[in-house]
Structure 1
Amino acid sequence: MEHKKTYNAMEIKHKSGDIIIEGPISSKELASLDFHEDLTAFRPAPQQHEALVNIAKLPEGRIIIARELNEVVGYVTYVYPDPMERWSEGNMENLIELGAVEVIPRFRGGGVGKALLAVSMMDDAMEDYIILTTEYYWHWDLKGTGLNVWEYRKVMEKMMKVGGLEYYATDEPEISSHPANCLMARIGKRVDPESVQQFDNLRFQNRYMY
């Protein structure tokens, strides 16, 4: 499958400063930008910067960034599901995972996360994909936001809905392990029925167990 990527951008007037939301960004350009020290949700900022540069090099990898001048202050990633996860078992070329969304504390609360999702979906190539995201409460910044699990879940759902992602039921064990965890997905307009059926089969693997 050819991985088309069409660059899009949007400017946001935020109370903390003007920022550009843009992408998919090339690995070379991403490597040339500064990376804010507060982008530490998954690993220390320098290592996360390096990880994103490597994702951008992948054929299917897509990174949309929020940029203040020459500094990355937020991002969202799209990549094939981890080989260790159930979602990779179908070896589907048209199934990609929205892997991470992160925005520094200074730019939270101003629609930056939603804008990252909106710019992602401006790319017509996204209509060829099933995009999924797995939300686990133990990844959420409950301490930093002061929200409880259910309030944070609502915030996440609202943000994902801007990108057209909807709630989907599943019997995947980690998602099923806590009621706040969830699977959300967006099925592109050009995705064939066979792929949708394959995705349904990945969502439910224990339906015939007694």
Structure 2
Amino acid sequence: MANPNQKILVWPAGESNITIKSFCSPDDIALLSLKETFVESNNYNPILSKKESLVSASLQQDVNVTIAYTGEKKIIGISILQYPSPEERWVKIENRVMMEVSVVEVAAEWRSRGISKKLFELLFDHPLRERRIIYMVGYSWTWDVSGAGISVIEYRNMLINLFSNFGFRIFPTNDPNVLLCPENLFMARIGADISDNVKMKFKLLRFNMDN
């Protein structure tokens, strides 16, 4: 049975259509192919390249695995919204308030067609979005700068623009991984129903001042 929150968007793209589906289940994923979608090249190492990882994510509570695929059932884009792993500082805020955009990938030959934005339209159409702080961490060493043909700063600005369209803004943090490179990025969207108390906890936690 499909998730009641699942949405499907069919988007014309040349000679065929692209389907974008949110809250994908293991059964949905089983029908699709991820073979040779995200290929390692130069300094680019895809975050996700196995269907097993998608299935594992889709089984987690409240997770939204949103996938774009062709008429031939080939996956060309993935985005995942899930709770942070237990070792992350963000789990210290109670009641699973924090959710992370842990993956956003579009196959090289399908980039610059607005697919990331379409993925996000369904990814953030989440019933808990106003009761969650949704964040992303951008590490510049994971970006396919050479494939995009732009500089690191241009790639960073592209991400800022993409996420800003969905209510995200840049927040400072002393996270050591973020501080490793000046181009790295931490952005978040604070839901409308987040209390002032939780907002303060989030502010302190960004600098490990929660104790």
- Match for residue 79 of structure 2? 76
Return the structure number with greater helix share: 1
**Which is worse superposed, 149-158 or 113-122?**
113-122
Identity %: 26
Tell me by how many angstroms 1:157 deviates.
Answer: 1.1
1:29-178 paired onto structure 2 within 5 Å: 29-40=28-39, 41-43=46-48, 45=49, 48-69=50-71, 70-90=73-93, 92-178=95-181
For 2:5 and 2:97, locate their aligned partners in 1 and report how far apart those are by CA, in whole Å.
Answer: 17
Assess if the C-alpha contact under 8 Å between 1:76 and 1:98 holds in 2. Answer: yes
Tell me by how many angstroms 1:168 deviates.
Answer: 1.0
Find out whether 1:183 has 2:182 as its counterpart: no
Q: Give the aligned length.
A: 202
Tell me by how many angstroms 1:89 deviates.
Answer: 3.4
| 1:16 to 1:135, Cα distance in 2 relative to 1, 3 A | farther
For 2:9 and 2:24, locate their aligned partners in 1 and report how far apart those are by CA, in whole Å.
Answer: 13
For 2:185 and 2:119, locate their aligned partners in 1 and report how far apart those are by CA, in whole Å.
Answer: 20
List structure 1 segments (4+ residues) > 6 angstroms apart after TM superposition: none
| 1:117 to 1:167, Cα distance in 2 relative to 1, 3 A | same
Tell me by how many angstroms 1:113 deviates.
Answer: 0.6
For 2:81 and 2:125, locate their aligned partners in 1 and report how far apart those are by CA, in whole Å.
Answer: 14
| 1:39 to 1:148, Cα distance in 2 relative to 1, 3 A | same
Q: Deviation per CA, 1:127-186, whole angstroms, max 9, x where unpaired? A: 221101000100100121121110100111111123322111111111122211111111
For 1:92 and 1:202, locate their aligned partners in 2 and report how far apart those are by CA, in whole Å.
Answer: 15
Please list every run of 5 or more consecutive structure 1 residues that lacks an aligned counterpart in the other structure: none
Compute the RMSD of aligned alpha carbons: 2.2
Task: Tell me the secondary structure at the aligned position of residue 53 of structure 2.
Answer: helix
Please list every run of 5 or more consecutive structure 2 residues that lacks an aligned counterpart in the other structure: 40-45
For 1:14 and 1:203, locate their aligned partners in 2 and report how far apart those are by CA, in whole Å.
Answer: 41
Q: TM-score, normalised by structure 2?
A: 0.86
